[in-house]
């Protein structure tokens, strides 16, 4: 590595963190506070204890998943920059990973792959794709039990641990989604189902820490192969793995029902062990009164995360939010401490395992012998993730039970990727600058389901939607056979809005979108997109694209300044009314139509490039505007 360049990167990152400290301090969220502590402890790479050199370690991936959540929720690029800087220490330009040895067949080494996949999906850089493929290839030859379960490690033959489901399966499922390797989902489903079947106590529903298919380990029950105890963090790993993997599954995949069933059984069992006095969980949850047992931070964080995210994604009943809220209050009281101006997490057991040298027999005495430390990275990462989820609960899950439908009929563009034509441009899946992934994430953050509509809108396929979004209708330049707006489609959409739907129209300037036919729809609400082009921006002169938002704006409460470039102005008549103007031009409008509402702007505007924080100067509030519009859209229309 070029030492001078590396030092420059470190100095730049340190400067960014220093500049951001005031912002983070103002936020005063526990997630941000503990993430800052992690960034201070591990500013560049990852080394623990007496280690002098950084290592490719799953612990780091737990923290980075929490940091990813902060970036997505806030649009603050400092979080993304830290994540990328951390991974770039290991991922080389040719896609190799410093310190990673596939032939070790350690399932733990797969966990950081989630951060690698994120970087590939956001930046499109080839080195991240190659690194992700390297990790996926380990799973092609990873040793398995006779029933097809991944061994935890090559040095632990025939064994599956609950920990291993978290280390491998969420990455495996996301890889399947990103690269279209759909058969992987069957394997992911098998891993969870197998582990539940082999480790579950039929009386309590609880899952034991480990399972030895060979029954050769001294810790293994000779009849069942299970380890002697239910360990709190192992339960946490399994629960987090379930909700994170489920998030990647395509709608309609039979594995969704299988994993949802497992998750519901899991939630029932773990909430029965939640300590009533503190709200959190013991290290050995089934033995709360056993001498020496203690309340443990990482397990509690993980189980809170599992319950809260399971509810938000619609896989668990809403009743479990009460358990999550009680647990989070206990988590803050028991373990989260601000000391000397720094946030710290107390009460995390450093490690617990089975077998190995010296031998760990899985007894209660063994679990109690492991050290409990402050600022263990596994606990910190789990806490940040749990705190992120609870911040979403605090802000209100107004989208629960609602569906947001994104058009992929009028906007239907493709590009070549590794010899295949793949859909892109304003889609939920696209995390590059051209996508709508950030908006999709914001809708799901509020409990809504996001789907896409590939066909012309009809009464039948709009029936289940609460919000319908159409972005940048294609011209012949963008699609060989564009689907233009018709009177029939416009009438179907208008009837749906009249019945209580919320329609978001994001057009584009003249030359970059079809407007004449698109106005067949817009005119039904008193809106016409003019064939003009305003707010022109030269290069990076961002102020040329500034648009002021008045304090009384009915949609963008708390937003003062946004960036919109090259927009088509709006001509309005009743029932439409302007909500944002610039230089006498109508920039944004709403229209009440029957029981529903319409929002319109002559620009795609809220795609990733101008929402995820990686491009615009920090004083533009496009991310805040996106959050406000999402909140507004989910609270309009029929109740």
Whole-number pLDDT of residue 28: 77
List, for residues 162-197, the tens digit of each pLDDT value. 999 999 999 999 999 999 999 999 999 999 999 999
List, for residues 33-89, the tens digit of each pLDDT value. 999 999 999 998 787 665 667 899 999 999 999 999 999 999 999 999 999 999 999
Q: Is residue 571 within 8 Å of 565, Cβ to Cβ?
A: no
The set of long-range contacts for 589-592, using a CB threshold of 8 Å and a minimum separation of 24, is 589/527, 590/554, 590/555, 591/525, 591/526, 591/527
Catalytic pick from 88, 108, 163, 407? 163
Q: Is the pLDDT of residue 17 over 60?
A: no
Give the CA-trace dihedral at 162, 167, 168, 170, to 10 degrees: 100
pLDDT band for position 320 (cuts 50, 70, 90): very high
List, for residues 132-143, the tens digit of each pLDDT value. 999 999 999 999
Give the CA-trace dihedral at 173, 177, 178, 181, to 10 degrees: 90
Backbone angles phi, psi at 381, to 5 degrees: -65, -45
- Report CA-CA distances (Å) from 105 to 159, 162, 216, 323: 13, 17, 20, 37
Give 295's strand partners. 282
Q: Is the pLDDT of residue 334 over 90?
A: yes
Mean of pLDDT values over 525-538: 96
Whole-number pLDDT of residue 477: 86
pLDDT band for position 421 (cuts 50, 70, 90): confident
- Cα–Cα distance between 482 and 342 in angstroms, integer? 56
List, for residues 470-489, the tens digit of each pLDDT value. 999 999 888 888 999 999 99
Mean of pLDDT values over 545-556: 97
Which of 45-59, 145-159, 323-337, 545-559 comes out lowest in average pLDDT?
45-59
Tokens of 523: 């005119």
- Cα–Cα distance between 42 and 381 in angstroms, integer? 13
- Cα–Cα distance between 448 and 450 in angstroms, integer? 6
- Report CA-CA distances (Å) from 262 to 177, 234, 256, 337, 486: 21, 16, 10, 35, 46
pLDDT band for position 424 (cuts 50, 70, 90): confident
Q: How far does Cα 539 stand from its chain's mean position?
A: 32
Whole-number pLDDT of residue 50: 59
**Active site annotation includes 163:** yes
Whole-number pLDDT of residue 48: 66
pLDDT band for position 2 (cuts 50, 70, 90): very low
- Cα–Cα distance between 209 and 229 in angstroms, integer? 7
Tokens of 443: 């809708």
* Neighbour count for residue 204 (Cβ, 10 Å): 12
- 3-state DSSP call for residue 460? helix
**Closest alpha carbon to 334 in 390, 394, 266, 383:** 383
Note the pTM of the prediction, 2 decimals.
0.94
Q: Is residue 61 within 8 Å of 174, Cβ to Cβ?
A: no
- Whole-number average pLDDT of the chain: 94
Whole-number pLDDT of residue 1: 41
């Amino acid at each position: 590595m070029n030492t001078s360049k590396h030092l420059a990167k470190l100095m730049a990152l340190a400067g960014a963190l220093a500049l951001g400290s005031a912002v983070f301090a103002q936020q005063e969220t526990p997630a941000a506070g503990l993430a800052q502590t992690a960034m201070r402890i591990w500013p560049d790479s990852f080394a623990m204890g007496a280690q002098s050199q950084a290592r490719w370690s799953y612990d780091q991936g737990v923290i980075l998943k929490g940091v990813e959540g902060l970036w997505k929720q806030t649009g603050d690029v400092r979080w993304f920059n830290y994540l990328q800087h951390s991974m770039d220490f290991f991922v080389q330009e040719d896609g190799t990973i410093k310190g990673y040895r596939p032939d070790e067949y350690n399932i733990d080494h797969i966990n950081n792959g989630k951060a690698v996949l994120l970087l590939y999906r956001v930046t499109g850089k080839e080195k991240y794709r190659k690194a992700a493929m390297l990790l996926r290839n380990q799973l092609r030859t990873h040793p398995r039990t006779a029933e097809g379960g991944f061994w935890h490690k090559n040095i632990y033959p025939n064994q599956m641990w609950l920990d291993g489901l978290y280390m491998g399966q969420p990455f495996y499922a996301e890889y399947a989604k990103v690269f279209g390797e759909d058969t992987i989902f069957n394997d992911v489903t098998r891993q969870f189902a197998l582990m539940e079947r082999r480790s579950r106590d039929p009386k309590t529903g609880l899952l034991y820490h480990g399972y030895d298919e060979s029954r050769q380990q001294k810790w293994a029950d000779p009849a069942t192969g299970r380890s002697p105890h239910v360990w709190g963090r192992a339960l946490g790993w399994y629960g987090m793995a379930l909700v994170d993997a489920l998030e990647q599954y395509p709608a309609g995949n039979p594995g969704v029902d299988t994993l949802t069933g497992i998750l519901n059984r899991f939630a029932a069992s773990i909430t029965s062990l939640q300590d009533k006095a503190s709200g959190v969980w013991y290290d050995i949850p089934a033995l709360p009164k056993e001498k020496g047992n203690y309340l443990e931070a990482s397990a509690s964080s993980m189980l809170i995360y599992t319950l809260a995210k399971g509810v938000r994604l619609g896989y668990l009943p809403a009743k479990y939010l009460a358990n999550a809220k009680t647990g989070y209050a206990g988590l803050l009281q028991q373990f989260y401490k601000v000391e000397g101006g720094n946030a710290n997490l107390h009460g995390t057991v450093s490690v617990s395992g089975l077998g190995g040298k010296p031998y760990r027999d899985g007894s209660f005495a063994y679990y109690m012998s492991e050290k409990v430390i402050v600022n263990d990275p596994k606990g910190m990462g789990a806490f940040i993730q749990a705190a992120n989820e609870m911040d979403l609960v605090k802000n209100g899950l107004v989208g629960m039970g609602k569906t947001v439908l994104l058009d992929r009929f009028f906007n239907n563009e493709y590009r070549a990727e590794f010899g295949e034509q793949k859909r892109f441009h304003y889609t939920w899946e696209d995390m590059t600058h051209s996508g709508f992934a950030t908006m999709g994430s914001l809708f799901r953050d509020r409990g809504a389901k996001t789907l896409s509509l590939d066909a012309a809108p009809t009464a039948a396929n709009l029936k289940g939607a609460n919000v319908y979004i159409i972005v940048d209708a294609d011209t012949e330049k963008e699609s060989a056979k564009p689907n233009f707006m018709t009177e029939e489609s416009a009438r179907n959409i208008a009837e749906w809005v009249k019945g209580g739907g919320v329609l978001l129209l994001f057009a584009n300037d003249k030359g970059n979108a079809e407007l004449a036919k698109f106005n067949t729809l817009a005119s039904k609400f008193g809106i016409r997109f003019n064939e003009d082009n305003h707010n022109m921006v030269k290069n990076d002169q961002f102020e040329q694209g500034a648009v002021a938002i008045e304090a009384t704006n009915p949609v963008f409460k708390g937003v003062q300044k946004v960036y919109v470039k090259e927009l088509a102005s709006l001509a309005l008549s009743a029932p439409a009314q302007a909500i944002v103007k610039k230089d006498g031009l109508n920039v944004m409008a709403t229209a009440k139509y029957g029981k529903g509402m319409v929002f319109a702007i002559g620009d795609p505007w809220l795609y990733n490039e101008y929402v995820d924080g990686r491009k615009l100067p920090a004083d533009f509030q496009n991310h805040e505007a996106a959050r406000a519009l999402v909140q507004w859209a989910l609270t309009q229309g029929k109740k």
